[in-house]
Amino acid sequence: MLPARSSSEAHLYMDLHPCECGSVDFERGHRLEQLGNDIVAVYEGVCRQCGRIRRFTFLMAEDIPPPPPAFGGPEPSQIIDPGEFLDVAFRIAETTGVRLLNAPDSEQHTYRGAVAYALAAYEEVLKFIPPGQNAVPASAFTSEVGRTRYQSEPGNFRRDVLELSVKNARAVLADIDKAGRPPQNPQ
């Protein structure tokens, strides 16, 4: 059973683990079950591409999860590694950044959710840095995607680089919020 800190983390895990056919798109029926003192979230459905039944079972954390788009509390994920989080953050930031550059101020608010999601992913990577250290250790990378990203771009897992990414994402959110505010009407 996969330990998940929130439903956001469970959904990202499912998105990162495609069906045998390569698709991540499936009808995600969801139910909660009591297993002793534990709450288990079961996601099950049919792959829209090949028709296989997909099923994921997550042991949910006892703590009340932070509101989305956050993936969990102060502890690092046990099911998604820092390279996967950084990969998600980079892909979203790159795609959304291009769209934001081409969007008029009046439409920038439509990208707020994506930027907030990328910010949450950057913040997750920082949780993998042990106290007193300045970078994510190589031992934290458990997935093929994560190890590949770490081997090709180890500098992106330094605390200072990650903190700058978080700072920049927060600045973009602030700009979106500023652009999305209706004009003040002096009275």
In tens, the pLDDT along 91-133 reads: 999 999 999 989 898 899 999 999 999 999 999 999 999 999 9
Closest residue by Cα to residue 77 from 143, 32, 133: 143
Q: What is the pLDDT of residue 184?
A: 56
| Helix ranges, 36-184 (H) | 82-102, 112-126, 144-152, 159-180
Q: In the chain, what is the greatest distance between 2 CA atoms, to the nearest angstrom?
A: 62
DSSP bridge partners of 108: none
| H-helix or E-strand spanning residue 4 | strand 2-4
Q: Which amino acid is at 20?
A: E
Residues of the chain with CATH 2.20.25: 2-60
pLDDT tens figures, 10-50: 999 999 999 999 999 999 999 999 999 999 999 999 999 99
Q: Are 26 and 48 within 8 A, CB to CB? A: yes
For domain 2-60, the question of CATH label 2.60.40 is answered with no
Q: How far apart are CA 127 and CA 10, in angstroms?
A: 18
Q: pTM surpassing 0.85?
A: yes
Q: What is the pLDDT of residue 44?
A: 97
State both tokens at 21: 């056919």
Residue 162's Cβ-count burial label (10 Å; 0-12, 13-18, 19+) is buried
State both tokens at 85: 């989080």
